């Protein structure tokens, strides 16, 4: 797949659904170590719904459709992580308004918007052990590869590598928010569960765009 068209998103989102379902129990275990233990269930519920939400929206503009799907997603799983993911899709979608085919550069813009949506809604910054610590580095890596002339596949793979590096870096961060902050002493040496979910989302997108190869 060289570009993502408006009709391609459901297949891509189904691959995100699949990877969130595959890692549901693992995310719950990670979350249980630091808080509620329901992250895997939240991500499953969110990404089980997103492909259908996207399909059901009558909107010819790709970016508006993604953004509206994100808005609806916020009510499907109204938890902290569900809201952050929804905010990412809403803001990322806005970066694709008027775009008909998402190439590498457009995808990097989408990810930049996604990370900014997370930061704005969560009132967080990188280094605080959150979802942003995966999607922020992912966006920067994607932009760098896109500016170097990378294809869509190249850019999404670079984003995945950036997210993986971001997840690894969270092992040396202390949580500042929610119940995880109470268990901060348990965080050192362990990857953040929210950042891991963000990395898995990007892995799902990569799986989707390479599924027909």
Chain centroid to CA 127: 17
Distances (CA, A) of 173 to 12, 87, 121, 194, 209: 31, 24, 21, 13, 32
Q: What is the structure's pLDDT at 177?
A: 63
User: Is the Cβ–Cβ distance between 74 and 88 less than 8 Å?
Assistant: no
Tell me which residues of the chain have a pLDDT lower than 50.
none
Chain centroid to CA 158: 14
Q: Per the confidence metrics, is the pTM higher than 0.95?
A: no
What is the C-alpha separation between 173 and 188, in angstroms, rounded? 7
Q: What is the CATH number of domain 4-209?
A: 1.25.40.340
What is the C-alpha separation between 79 and 85, in angstroms, rounded? 10
Q: Per-domain residue ranges for the chain?
A: 4-209
Distances (CA, A) of 133 to 97, 122, 128, 162: 26, 12, 8, 10
Q: What is the structure's pLDDT at 181?
A: 55
Q: What is the structure's pLDDT at 179?
A: 57
What is the C-alpha separation between 186 and 93, in angstroms, rounded? 36
Q: What are phi and psi of 101, to 5 degrees?
A: -135, 120
Residues in the chain: 213
């Amino acid at each position: 797949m060289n570009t993502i068209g408006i009709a391609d998103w459901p297949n891509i989102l189904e691959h995100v659904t699949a990877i969130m379902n595959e890692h549901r129990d693992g995310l719950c275990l990670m979350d249980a170590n630091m808080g509620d233990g329901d992250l895997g269930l939240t991500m499953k519920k969110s990404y089980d719904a997103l492909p259908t939400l996207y399909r059901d929206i009558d909107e010819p503009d790709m970016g508006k459709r993604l953004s509206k799907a994100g808005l609806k997603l916020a009510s499907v799983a109204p938890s902290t992580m569900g809201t952050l993911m929804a905010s990412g899709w809403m803001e990322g979608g806005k970066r694709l308004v008027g775009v008909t085919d998402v190439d590498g550069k457009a995808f990097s813009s989408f990810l930049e918007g996604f990370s900014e949506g997370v930061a704005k809604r969560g009132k967080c910054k990188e280094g605080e052990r959150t979802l942003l610590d995966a999607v922020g580095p992912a966006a920067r890596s994607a932009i760098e590869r896109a500016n170097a002339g990378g294809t869509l596949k190249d850019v999404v793979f670079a984003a995945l590598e950036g997210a993986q590096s971001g997840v690894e870096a969270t092992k040396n961060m202390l949580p500042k928010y929610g119940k995880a902050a109470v268990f901060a002493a348990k965080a050192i040496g362990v990857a953040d569960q929210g950042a891991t979910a963000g990395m898995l989302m990007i892995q799902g997108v990569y799986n989707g765009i390479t599924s027909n190869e």
